[in-house]
Amino acid sequence: MNDLGQDVQMPTRTKEAQLVHRVALTLEEAEIPFVQEPLYRGLRPDFLVETEEGRKVIIECKIYRPDRIREAVRQAKFYAMALEADRAIVVTEGQHRTANLHGAIPIGKLKEVLRSLSKRTAFRTPKVKTTKSRGIVFCAMPFAKKYLDVYFFAMRYAASKVGAEARRADMPLVSGDVVKHVKTLIRDSIAVIADLSESRPDVLYEVGYAHALIRPTVHICSTPFARLPFTVKTWAAIPYSKGEVYALRKTLTQALRNALVTP
């Protein structure tokens, strides 16, 4: 899975889980109310807090190498925009100069940063309408940054409209056998949304696996269909243009609904 950008050196979910636990303890000690991993508009941020003034803050815990921090911060900003939050904070395990430059903070500074966000230095229990998950909609797609908006504003939106959670294989990153992880996500999913753009081999592999399991699958594509492999051209796909993901949302949502009711 080369699209992940990491292989044997990927951070483990265990370390990330430990960081999540430390953040929860930090928030409790600071008496800052929070909601942990709420299913909110098709996504599961690690934490959601809210100031007395009603400002919503997303907190994401990431164990990334210093050279991957920029990507973590970029993803967190997309989280904030998709969930209409006022701020996204990426918390890392240690102190990294690179992390600080790109907007991530070490866990030791979390309370200080949160306190600076509220004029009254007070927080309230987040007022969000969380939903009961219908299941996972696995999103097979290129992991290049130019496709982040497709995931957060189209795929995530469609999943939320059917009461499900959108999941990519790299959110969160895992250690060990990535192929096994992807297969597990697809097996556990109620449906798959696949972006065939650029005919990425990893994506085609994932879609083929979903087809073999007879998972309801919706295909989308932003590159010319003529460039797709011969057999892939026979799959019905929703065309879309880069930069116009909001126009894609309605069509994709309806296609996903149809796929879930088709026997």
Confidence band for 33, pLDDT divided at 50, 70 and 90: very high
In the chain, % of residues over pLDDT 90: 46
93, 155: one domain: no
- The domain total for the chain is 2
User: Across the chain, what does the average pLDDT equal?
Assistant: 85
Give me the CATH number covering residue 196. Answer: 3.40.50.10140
Q: Residues 63, 93: contact at Cβ < 8 Å?
A: yes
- Considering the domain boundaries, does residue 129 fall inside one? no
Confidence band for 178, pLDDT divided at 50, 70 and 90: confident
Go through 28-50 and write b for each residue having 16 or more CB atoms within 10 A of its CB, e for each that does not. Answer: eeeebebbeebbbbbbbbbbbbb
At 205-229, the pLDDT tens digits run: 999 999 999 999 999 999 998 888 8
At 118-151, the pLDDT tens digits run: 666 688 888 777 667 889 999 999 988 899 999 9
- Considering the domain boundaries, does residue 108 fall inside one? yes
For residue 62, what pLDDT is reported? 81
At 225-254, the pLDDT tens digits run: 888 888 888 888 999 998 889 999 999 999
Rounded to an integer, what distance in angstroms lies between the CA atom of residue 60 and that of residue 90?
5
Q: Closest by alpha carbon to 23, among 90, 71, 79?
A: 90
Calculate mean pLDDT across residues 63-72: 72
159, 111: one domain: no
- Domain boundary (81, 101, 124) is at 124
Q: Could you list the residue range(s) of the whole structural domain that residue 106 is in?
A: 2-124
Collapsing DSSP to helix, strand or coil, 63 comes out as coil
Highest mean pLDDT (candidates 52-56, 138-142, 259-263):
138-142
Residue 67 neighbours by CB distance under 10 Å = 10
13, 88: one domain: yes
Rounded to an integer, what distance in angstroms lies between the CA atom of residue 192 and that of residue 214?
10
74, 158: one domain: no
26, 111: one domain: yes
